[in-house]
Amino acid sequence: MKPDTKIDRILKDAASGRPITKSEATLLLGISENSLESSLLRATATAVNRQRFSNSGLLLGQIGVDMAPCDGDCAFCFFARSHTSIQANILSSDEIVVRCERFARGGAQGVFLMTMHRFGFEWFRDLCAELRRRVPPQLEILSNVGDISSAQLRELRDAGVTGAYHVCRIREGIDSRMTPAERRATIERILESGLSWYNMCEPLGPEHTHEELADQIWLGVDLQCTQHGVMQRFPVPGSPLYHYGQVSLSRLGQVVAVVTLATIGKENVKSIAVNVSNLVGLFSGANAFFPEAGEPDDQATQTETVKSNEGFTTALWRQGNEITTADCRAMMMAAGFSNLMDTDGVPNKPLQAKAYRHN
C-alpha cells in the first residue's frame, strides 16, 4: 500500500513547516476518512502540533448561564425557538462560582460563560465582574454570547473578560437566522476591542461539502484567532437537521488535522481544540478540550453542591453525562501529553490524575 503521491508531498511539506493552502485543504477534506492518506494526515498533524505546543494541553471549562427559547433559531440547536421545549432558566452566581472553583481545581485555565443569541447585557456584564472578584484569579473569564457592539465588548473587557468565542458557522444564514456578515462584524469587533478570539469549524455534520468547510475554516486562518478547532454537531431530536446524523470521530479528526496544518506558522494560534473531547482528536492535532464539568467530588469538597439539572453544557446535545476535567486529563495522559498549559500556549503544570490545589 502506497499513499497518493500528491497528498504524500503535501504532508511532507507540512511536516517541514509549510502551511497547507486552501485548495490543498479542500483536497485533504475530500479524502476518505478511513483511507491510508487520512491516517497519514492525522499522524502528521499530531506530530506537528505536539512539537508546536511542547506536548502540552489546554482545558477551558464551559457553563451555560442563561438558557431560553432562542431567536437565533438554528436548525441544529437544542434551544431554537421553533422546535425547543426548554424552559427559560438563569443560573445563580453562587452556583457559577462553585462550578468555576471546580474547573480551577481540575486544571482549567478559563471558563466560557454561554448565553443565548439575545441576552441581558447588563446582567451578563455584572455577572462577569462579580465572578472576577470571586473565582480563582488564574481562571480566565471568557464569553460565548450573541452579536454585540464594540462598546459592549469593551465593557466586558473592563469587567475582566479576556476572550470571546464567536463563530461564523458553517451554513450561517441558511441553517440560522443570523447572517455571515453580522457574525464576521462581531468577530472583527472582538479583535479591535483587544479580546482574544476563540474560533472553530462548527457545527460539523456529514452533509457539509469540502469547499464549504475550507471556506469556513479559512476565516480563522485569515483573521487573528487565538484558538482554532472543530466541533461536531450532535443530532437534536425534532430539529430540521436531525436526519443527517453525525460525523464519525475519524472524520472529526480529519477536519481537526486540516485546521492544524492550515495554521502552521500562525503565531497567534495558541491551541487547537476539538469538541466533543475525545482521544482520536488528540491523535489528529488537537490539544485543547472544553470539559463540561469541573473536578468531581472528593472528601475535601463534599460540602459543595452542584445542581446539575440547572444551566447547560454541550452534554445536553449528546444526551450524556458531562465530561469532567478529570476525564479530560485522563485522556490527555493516555495520549502521552506531558503538561497543561495556559491560553498563551505556555506549559504551566504537569499533567496529573489528581486535582490541583490553589492558594
Binding to ligand SF4 by residue 116, rule CB under 6 A? yes
The separation between CA 66 and the C-alpha centre of its own chain, rounded to angstroms, equals 18
**Measured distance CA(1)–CA(12) in Å, rounded:** 17
Cβ atoms of residues 25 and 255 within 8 Å: no
Lay out the site mask for ligand SF4 across 163-202 (x = CB under 6 A, - = otherwise): -------------x--------------------------
Per DSSP, the three-state class of 201 is strand
Using CB under 6 A, pick the residue from 29, 41, 65, 70 that binds ligand SF4. Answer: 70
- Between 136 and 240, whose beta carbon lies closer to ligand SF4? 240
Instruction: Using the Cα atoms of residue 215, residue 165, residue 115 and residue 257 in order, give the sign of their dihedral.
Output: positive
Binding to ligand SF4 by residue 74, rule CB under 6 A? yes
Strand pairing partners for 347?
341
Using CB under 6 A, pick the residue from 50, 52, 102, 117 that binds ligand SF4. Answer: 117
Binding to ligand SF4 by residue 77, rule CB under 6 A? yes
Min separation Cβ 69 and ligand SF4, Å = 9
**Measured distance CA(246)–CA(42) in Å, rounded:** 20
78-107: contacts with ligand SF4 (CB under 6 A): 79-80
Per DSSP, the three-state class of 335 is coil
Min separation Cβ 70 and ligand SF4, Å = 3
Interface with ligand SF4 by CB under 6 A: which range of 35-43, 76-84, 153-161, 331-339?
Answer: 76-84
**Cell numbers standing for residue 101:** 472553583
**Measured distance CA(299)–CA(277) in Å, rounded:** 27
Task: Please give the size of the binding site for ligand SF4, defined by CB under 6 A.
Answer: 10
230: left (phi over 0), alpha (psi -120 to 50) or beta: beta
Binding to ligand SF4 by residue 46, rule CB under 6 A? no
Residues that bind ligand SF4 (CB under 6 A): 70, 72-74, 77, 79-80, 116-117, 176
